[in-house]
Amino acid sequence: MMSPTLPFSQYAGSLPESQTLAITARAKKMKAEGIDVAPFAAGEPDFDTPDHVKEAGLQAIRDGRTKYAPAAGIPPLREAVAEKFRANGLEGITPDRTLICAGAKGVLFQALQALLREGDEVLVPTPAWLSYPQMVHAVGGRTVYVDTGPADGYVIDPEKVRAAVTPRSRAIILNSPGNPTGAVQPDDVQAAIGRIAVEHDLVVISDEIYEHMVYAPATFTSFAAAAPEAADLTLLVNGVSKAYAMTGWRIGYGGGPKELIVRMARLQSHASSGTPEICQRAALAALTGPTDDLRRMQAAFILRRQVMYDELAKIDGLSCPLPDGAFYMLPDVSAFLGRRFEGQPVEDVSSLAELIIGHARAAVVPGNVFEAPYAIRFSYACSEDDIRAGVGRVAEFLRSLEG
Ligand code: PMP
Ligand code: GLU
């Protein structure tokens, strides 16, 4: 029987799957099949969720918190989020200006849904996390890229931002520390972007999910603190996935202008009715409880970053700055493009990543999905042993390429 031709929307019809999630899932499957694969694709800490956080989730179940919760989030969590954002520099923010969503992803998606009209533009500095342009596209907007590069440490040039603004520009997405570069944007750059936002009425969506992964001497400054004059246009986006090893709990949170939050909350009330209270209670414990586990994980990331950097530095022809934050490295691999594997030229980073996954047994993400077609992303959210063994195999594989 012929299958019917379904009339997909112009937005979802051509939407690709998230490659970071797809490659991570593939690596997990290979591992389950007994294949020793280095998990460098994963954008998630390998640590277990801290015990006191798990216990809060279990207690919520025991307490029967298993019904519909307020769609915008439970009041104590919204209060904790408001307090956190005030501490980060968003002065005067109150719980009614916060929202709890299914991950930071949920906050970002609903913000774009609430903000954009057909054809509106969103500025996105590149290299950029792959879901930003797809989310913009999915709600009818257009992404306008603002390039940064390894030579300037992936620091944004505010003049390039200014030059990219058009009458259709509605928002800019900042992500510091950034995925996939690990770059931390200097305060003066964030302040300059804040001034441009005020001049042109742009909403600044500041995705600060890697806030707790910043390595000395670098420090974290929230966009809210760096650009207080843009406070009325600032949407802070954050979540518990990365800092507290809670990727599967799906809790993210946002805080910003009341009018925007109200619209996002209404959308959420129709789309999903909000997130499970069980997960929200666990997130509350993460945000307000002891920080020992957070510190322990941060200390591990400092060591892992160094090991990954040292191991990659041993590979001739590959260059990579030492990133200040997040848990990714984005080495330039262009020296290897055009070389041959079993007689066939390696044409682009996507084929190179595929060969690395298959022949070096290291799951990596090709940079083209992040608008960095010269690079490959390595996550170091895994053990030092995995890093040494996996990068060792990648080195051996790259050496084996001919020509
Ligand atoms: N923003 C960035 C930059 C990310 O890397 C991720 C990765 N998961 C997210 C947002 C989404 O995080 P989550 O939905 O798990 O909170
Ligand atoms: N953000 C992480 C990554 O870039 C996790 C996967 C995803 O949500 O994209 O790998």
- When pLDDT is averaged across residues 198-209 and rounded to a whole number, the result is 98
Q: Using the atom order of ligand 1, give the atom closest to the CA of residue 107.
A: 14
What local confidence, expressed as pLDDT, does residue 2 receive?
Answer: 65
Answer for the pair 173, 109: CB distance below 8 angstroms, yes or no. no
Report the alpha-carbon distance of residue 40 to residue 56 in Å, rounded. Answer: 31
In a domain, 108, yes or no: yes
Q: How many CB atoms lie within 10 A of CB 141?
A: 24
Answer for the pair 325, 182: CB distance below 8 angstroms, yes or no. yes
Please say whether the dihedral angle defined by the alpha carbons of residues 237, 242, 246 and 250, taken in this order, is positive or negative: positive
In a domain, 59, yes or no: no
CA-nearest residue for atom 9, ligand 2, is: 20
Within 8 A by CB and 6+ apart from 121, the residues are 141, 142, 143, 144, 166, 168, 169, 170
CA 199 to chain centre: 28
Q: Using the atom order of ligand 1, give the atom closest to the CA of residue 175.
A: 3
In a domain, 57, yes or no: no
Mean pLDDT of the chain: 96
- When pLDDT is averaged across residues 123-137 and rounded to a whole number, the result is 97
Assign residue 142 the CATH number of its domain: 3.40.640.10
Distance (Å) from CA 134 to ligand 2 centroid: 13
Domain finish residue from 253, 288, 323: 288
In a domain, 131, yes or no: yes
Answer for the pair 205, 260: CB distance below 8 angstroms, yes or no. no
Number of domains in the chain: 2
Task: Assign 3-state DSSP to the chain and report helix, strand, coil percentages, each to 5.
Answer: 45, 15, 40
- When pLDDT is averaged across residues 14-43 and rounded to a whole number, the result is 91
Distance (Å) from CA 94 to ligand 2 centroid: 29
Within 8 A by CB and 6+ apart from 216, the residues are none
What angle (nearest 5°) sits at the alpha carbon of residue 378, between those of residues 374 and 380?
A: 155
Assign residue 297 the CATH number of its domain: 3.90.1150.10
Distance (Å) from CA 86 to ligand 2 centroid: 27
In a domain, 58, yes or no: no
In a domain, 1, yes or no: no
| Ligand with minimal distance to 244 CA | 1
Distance (Å) from CA 139 to ligand 2 centroid: 20
Q: Using the atom order of ligand 2, give the atom closest to the CA of residue 209.
A: 1
| Ligand with minimal distance to 252 CA | 1
Report the alpha-carbon distance of residue 178 to residue 113 in Å, rounded. Answer: 23
What local confidence, expressed as pLDDT, does residue 365 receive?
Answer: 97
Q: Are residues 265 and 207 in the same domain?
A: yes
Taking alpha carbons only, the member of 313, 300, 302 closest to residue 391 is: 313
Distance (Å) from CA 105 to ligand 2 centroid: 10
Residues flanking ligand 2, CB < 6 Å: 18, 20-21, 43-44, 129, 131, 179
In a domain, 4, yes or no: no
The response to whether residue 331 sits with its C-beta less than 6 Å from ligand 1 reads no
What local confidence, expressed as pLDDT, does residue 282 receive?
Answer: 98
- When pLDDT is averaged across residues 172-191 and rounded to a whole number, the result is 98
Look up the pTM and report it.
0.97
The two three-digit tokens of residue 220, written as one number: 């974290």
| Ligand with minimal distance to 213 CA | 1
- When pLDDT is averaged across residues 232-250 and rounded to a whole number, the result is 98
What local confidence, expressed as pLDDT, does residue 42 receive?
Answer: 86
Range of the domain at 311: 12-48+293-399
| Ligand with minimal distance to 109 CA | 1
Rounded to the nearest 10°, the torsion over CA 288, 291, 295, 297 is: -70
Q: Are residues 166 and 93 in the same domain?
A: yes
CA-nearest residue for atom 1, ligand 2, is: 43
pLDDT tens digits along 54-81: 999 999 999 999 999 999 999 999 999 9
| Ligand with minimal distance to 125 CA | 1
Distance (Å) from CA 356 to ligand 1 centroid: 25
Report the alpha-carbon distance of residue 210 to residue 176 in Å, rounded. Answer: 7
The two three-digit tokens of residue 107, written as one number: 């906050």
pLDDT band with cut points at 50, 70 and 90 for residue 14: confident
Domain finish residue from 288, 307, 336: 288
- When pLDDT is averaged across residues 95-115 and rounded to a whole number, the result is 98
pLDDT band with cut points at 50, 70 and 90 for residue 7: confident
Q: Are residues 43 and 79 in the same domain?
A: no
What angle (nearest 5°) sits at the alpha carbon of residue 149, between those of residues 144 and 153?
A: 125
In a domain, 6, yes or no: no
- When pLDDT is averaged across residues 344-353 and rounded to a whole number, the result is 96
Q: Are residues 263 and 350 in the same domain?
A: no
| 234 SS3 class | strand
Q: Residues of the chain with pLDDT > 70: what percent?
A: 99
Q: Are residues 101 and 224 in the same domain?
A: yes
Q: Using the atom order of ligand 1, give the atom closest to the CA of residue 108.
A: 10
Taking alpha carbons only, the member of 15, 54, 20, 66 closest to residue 39 is: 20
Q: Are residues 144 and 189 in the same domain?
A: yes
pLDDT tens digits along 326-342: 999 999 999 999 999 99
| pLDDT beyond 70 at 89 | yes
Q: Which residues of 268-305 are buried (b: 16+ CB within 10 A; e: fewer)?
A: beeeeebbbbbbbbbbbbbbebeeebbeebeebbeebb
Please say whether the dihedral angle defined by the alpha carbons of residues 162, 167, 168 and 172, taken in this order, is positive or negative: positive
Q: Are residues 227 and 130 in the same domain?
A: yes
Q: Using the atom order of ligand 2, give the atom closest to the CA of residue 21.
A: 6
Q: Are residues 145 and 269 in the same domain?
A: yes
The response to whether residue 103 sits with its C-beta less than 6 Å from ligand 1 reads yes
What local confidence, expressed as pLDDT, does residue 13 receive?
Answer: 87
Q: Using the atom order of ligand 2, give the atom closest to the CA of residue 129.
A: 4
> Which of 17, 18, 107, 129 for a ligand 2 pocket mutation test, highest count of atoms within 8 Å of Cβ?
129
List Cα–Cα distances, 365 to 41, 139, 223, 297, 374, in angstroms: 6, 25, 28, 23, 12
Q: Are residues 336 and 268 in the same domain?
A: no
The response to whether residue 276 sits with its C-beta less than 6 Å from ligand 1 reads no
What local confidence, expressed as pLDDT, does residue 1 receive?
Answer: 58
In the chain, the N- to C-terminal Cα span, in Å, equals: 51
